[in-house]
Amino acid sequence: MDYTSEFLKTLNARGYIAQCTDDKALDAATNDGIITGYIGYDCTAPSLHVGNLISILMLRHLQQAGHRPIVVIGGGTTKVGDPSGKDESRQLLTQDKIDENKKTIRATFERFLTFGDGPTDAIMVDNDEWLSDLNYIEFLRDYGRHFSVNRMMSFDSVKLRLDREQPLSFLEFNYMILQAYDFLELNRRYDCTLQMGGSDQWGNIVNGIELTRRCDQNSVFGLTTNLLTTSSGAKMGKTAQGAVWLNDDMLPAYDYWQFWRNTEDADVGRFLRLFTELPLDEISRLEKLEGAELNDAKKILATEATAMCHGRDAAEKAEATARDTFEGGGTSADLPSVAIEAKQLAKGLGLLEAFVIAGLAKSNGEARRLVQGGGAKVNDTAQDDTTATLTEADVQDGTIKLSFGKKRHVLLRP
């Protein structure tokens, strides 16, 4: 449909929207004045990853369009565990671990949103505040009666698990009720009328909307985005090292830049619209580039996306480092580096061990296979001897450059 509000027009033009519970009414509401919208994040890991990025950017667009975003940290719901999209119960996290994760996740949002006390300033709340104090019997009588088990069984998050004959604990079964209650509570506390999320959250969101209507007769909205996949259908956000984290102590800005730089051709336009804030006509020009020229668009994508997450300086530094490394064929002093002791070189550091110390290989065995497969380089020279050692003679300009394949490089600094 054709939207009239700035918020929905932007999301639509940039390809964010998958489903909306009532897009006409939401369009009208966002035109009418400031609305408050929220997205919840469970703290199952110490950092969010690119899979969460779309939703974070939706909050950002919400704020830029003159509305108020709420970030809900799932301190309470994490204790239960969302069964959506998972085959098996996740291991339950300890309270300590949850608290720790909460702390490190918070920082990420400050890059993307403006927090404060103003009418459109973002706020962050933890659902542990209201969930942990619930009284079981009271909760069941007040809210549990609004949920039909028959209906709950039909939601994908539950149905998929049952169809695949995977166990679903009663604990997890309650997740959707708690998330629904979150929405009701946010509506009461902050007049929040919109919940957004990935399309896997559709069921949970709809439950919250219904609960709010049944309890308080308020009508609220849900809006979802498509889950992020590459054109070739692969789940996005995994690299050799694991997930693509947003916190730079989990993944350096250089590696984050590299992640975007390696985008598939077919995804460039889509990603530029979703993950950068370049004007749309500029994007349509970039995505029309063909062949090797498309690489220029990928560099812009990488730099813009990295700038938003790690700052413009870090992004440009990553770009320069990549240029030196890949196009200059040389070594940039800004590649990720690992310190080693001079003593180790004096007595000769095993080649395999060096790769492990650098964090490029998980074990000597992996390093050995790399050498045997012809993918190991020292100072850009291929290595074929698994028993070789590194000495002071290998130090060039104060470092030894180790390469794992063509793309992953680390400098050892004695």
Q: Binding of RNA at residue 116 (CB under 7 A)?
A: no
Q: Looking at 18-26, 27-35, 104-112, 406-414, which segment touches RNA (CB under 7 A)?
A: 406-414
- Rounded (5°) CA angle 66-69-71: 165
CB 17 to RNA: min, Å: 26
Q: What are phi and psi of 341, to 5 degrees?
A: -90, 140
Q: How is residue 240 written in tokens?
A: 């050799």
Contact flag: residue 258 with RNA (CB under 7 A): yes
Of 103 and 323, nearer to RNA (C-beta) is 323
Give the nearer residue to RNA in terms of CB position, either 6 or 366: 366
Q: In the sheet that 17-20 helps form, which strands lie side by side, from edge to edge?
A: 17-20, 221-225, 194-198, 36-41, 68-73, 123-126
**Beta carbon nearer to RNA, 21 or 263:** 263
Task: For residue 85, state whether it binds RNA (rule: CB under 7 A).
Answer: no
Q: How far is the CB of 216 from RNA (least distance, A)?
A: 36
Cα 270 from chain centre: 17
* Distance (Å, whole) CA 185 – CA 188: 5
Size of the site for RNA (CB under 7 A): 40
> Does residue 291 interact with RNA by CB under 7 A?
yes
Sole binder of RNA in the list 31, 44, 239, 389 (CB under 7 A): 239
Q: Does 262 bind RNA (CB under 7 A)?
A: yes
323 binds RNA (CB under 7 A): yes
Under the binding rule (CB under 7 A), the answer on residue 281 touching RNA is: no
- Between CA 59 and CA 109 the distance in angstroms is 10
Beta strands in 102-235 (DSSP E): 123-126, 194-198, 221-225
Q: Does 406 bind RNA (CB under 7 A)?
A: yes
With a CB cutoff of 8 Å and minimum separation 6, the contacts of 335 are 254, 321, 325, 401, 409, 410, 411
115 touches RNA (CB under 7 A)? no
25 in Cβ contact with 221 (< 8 Å):
yes
Please, which residue, 142 or 264, has the CB nearer to RNA? 264
Q: How far is CA 4 from CA 197, 205, 222, 319, in A?
A: 22, 24, 18, 38
Of 102 and 298, CB closest to RNA:
298
226 within 8 A of 202, measured Cβ to Cβ: no
Helix, strand, coil fractions of the chain, as percent rounded to 5: 50, 15, 35
Q: Give min distance, CB of 245 to RNA, in A.
A: 15
Check if the beta carbon of residue 90 is closer than 8 Å to that of residue 169: no
Task: Sketch the per residue contact string, 330 through 369, with RNA: x for CB under 7 A, - otherwise.
Answer: --------------------------x-----xxxxx-xx
Among 14, 68, 317, 408, binds RNA (CB under 7 A): 408
| Distance in Å, CB of 172 to RNA, minimum | 12
Cβ 330 to RNA, closest distance in Å? 13
- CA dihedral (241, 247, 252, 257) in degrees, to 10, reads 90
**With binding defined as CB under 7 A, does residue 167 bind RNA?**
yes
List interacting residues with RNA (CB under 7 A): 165, 167, 232, 234, 238-240, 258, 261-265, 291-292, 294-295, 298, 322-323, 325-327, 356, 362-366, 368-370, 373-375, 404-408
